[in-house]
Amino acid sequence: MKNKIPPIFLAAGVVILPLIFAGYTLAGCGSVGARAEELNKLQGHWVDVNGETTLDFDKNRMTITSPYDKETYKIRISGANPRYIENAKAKYDYDNGFGVIGTIWIGDDNVLTAREMITDADGHQYRFVREEDLDNELEIQIKDRDLPKSIASDEIVSFNLVFSNEDCTYDIPPEEPWYGGVYSIDVEKDDDGAYELSLHGSGPSYVIVDYSGPVSEEYVKGLANLVKEQKIAEYNGWWHSNNEHFGSWYLNIEYASGEKILMEASGRAALECPFSFYEFLKYADKEAGYTKELQ
């Protein structure tokens, strides 16, 4: 990971309406019985898909155990849809979280999610599940669509590649100045037949490269040849994912013939890619001149 800059946290605001049930406080919309049922569903042990932190619920008490700390909170539930787990004794009016963990969202998929309470970037993404569900969360899901294909057309009318290298440099040499962030390469043909290239890269709080400008038909033909050299059509429909919080990538290419190539991956599955990001970055940078400016 390169130039990782600490994240920006945005806490969700909620309206709290206190209710008393069975000796502990619940809050928010809905009946007392519904809130008790929500709390009962939480009881027991939960693990973080993306790390080593665990949650243990005992009635209206929640114990958070991380590699660095262990603390127990009295909790309350708020909201109807979505629903939240909050600290019943928040230190600050604007903070109903739990130390470094923000307010926890209760998902309809029986998953508890939260973000790290850190300023200036993305922070750790907490995804808590029952321990018996962890293997399913980590398993790579293959949801491939269509079949590999050959492309008859040589004329690209739209090229869109988006990827994150914050968790991996892929095949990008570490000495190259393509710093950790999300990158997009776009080539579009307009109604007049002219092409424009856009190359953008940014981290959580910084811009790496931001370029747009016209390109020639010869440049776009070279791009089509690069797609062929990478044998990308053979992987059309590639769609791999799992529920860990890693980067993602997406590739969509449209041709004048109406033919298309579509590929994507997310979670840990995104760390594997059957083509070279670096080759496309270098080709886009022939026009953008980003690396030349740094020399």
CATH code at position 202 = 3.30.1560
118 and 241 belong to one structural domain: no
Q: Are residues 78 and 33 in the same domain?
A: yes
Count of domains for the chain:
2
What's CA 142's distance to the chain center, in Å?
18
* Same domain assignment for residues 58 and 108: yes
Residues 174 and 75 grouped into a single domain: no
Identify whether residues 113 and 232 lie together within a single domain. no
Cα angle 28, 29, 32; round to 5: 85
- Per 3-state DSSP, the chain is made up of helix, strand and coil in percentages (nearest 5) of 20, 35, 45
The token pair that represents 152 in the structure block: 């008859």
Burial class (CB in 10 A: 0-12, 13-18, 19+), 201: buried
Verify that 151 and 34 share a domain, yes or no: no
d(CA 274, CA 231): 9
Q: pTM score, two decimals?
A: 0.73
- The domain in which residue 239 lies consists of 142-294
Residue 48 maps to which CATH number?
2.40.128
- Domain stops at, among 138, 153, 175: 138
Q: Say yes or no: 236 and 285 in one domain.
A: yes
Whether 206 maps to a domain, the answer reads: yes
pLDDT by position in tens, the chain (length 295): 444 333 333 333 333 333 223 333 334 444 566 678 889 999 999 999 999 999 999 999 999 999 989 999 999 999 888 899 999 987 776 678 898 898 999 998 889 999 988 766 667 899 999 999 999 998 989 999 988 888 999 999 999 999 998 878 899 999 999 999 999 999 999 999 999 999 999 988 899 999 999 999 999 999 999 999 999 999 999 999 999 988 899 999 999 999 999 999 999 899 889 999 999 999 999 999 999 888 7
Among 105, 138, 171, residue at a domain's last position: 138
Same domain, yes or no: 84 and 221 = no
- With vertex at residue 115, the alpha carbon angle to CA 112 and CA 116, rounded to the nearest 5 degrees, is 130
Asked if 181 and 56 sit in the same domain, the reply is no
Reduced to 3 states, what is the DSSP secondary structure of residue 98?
strand
First to last CA, the chain: 23
